[in-house]
Amino acid sequence: MFLFITHTLFCLSNYQKIAVQKMTSAKETQCQTILHLWNQGITNDQEIHRRTSIPLATIYKNIKKLKKREMWLMQKEMVS
């Protein structure tokens, strides 16, 4: 009985790991898609959402990161 319970918990643990990996890869794919569109000059959050159906909250977060990165790069160039 104990071995069955341990095995079941082990399987659930592996399932959870797989689920987390899939969520991570989905978020990475969304991030890459937003970055691609951003580099193509499509910087409007509503337009990105319309084209990709990525949730707006995800788009807002990624655009915020992109803008922060652009500001950092601009400041770095000014110092150099």
Q: Kindly report whether the global pTM for this prediction surpasses the value 0.75.
A: no
pLDDT for position 39: 92
Q: Any idea which of 2-6, 34-38, 55-59, 73-77 has the lowest mean pLDDT?
A: 2-6
Contacts for 45 with CB less than 8 Å, ≥ 6 apart: 56, 59, 60, 63
19/79: higher pLDDT: 79
Taking each helix axis as running N to C, give the angle between helix 45-52 and helix 2-39, from 0 to 180 degrees, rounded to the nearest 10.
120
pLDDT tens column, 6-54? 444 445 566 666 666 776 788 889 999 999 999 999 999 999 999 999 9
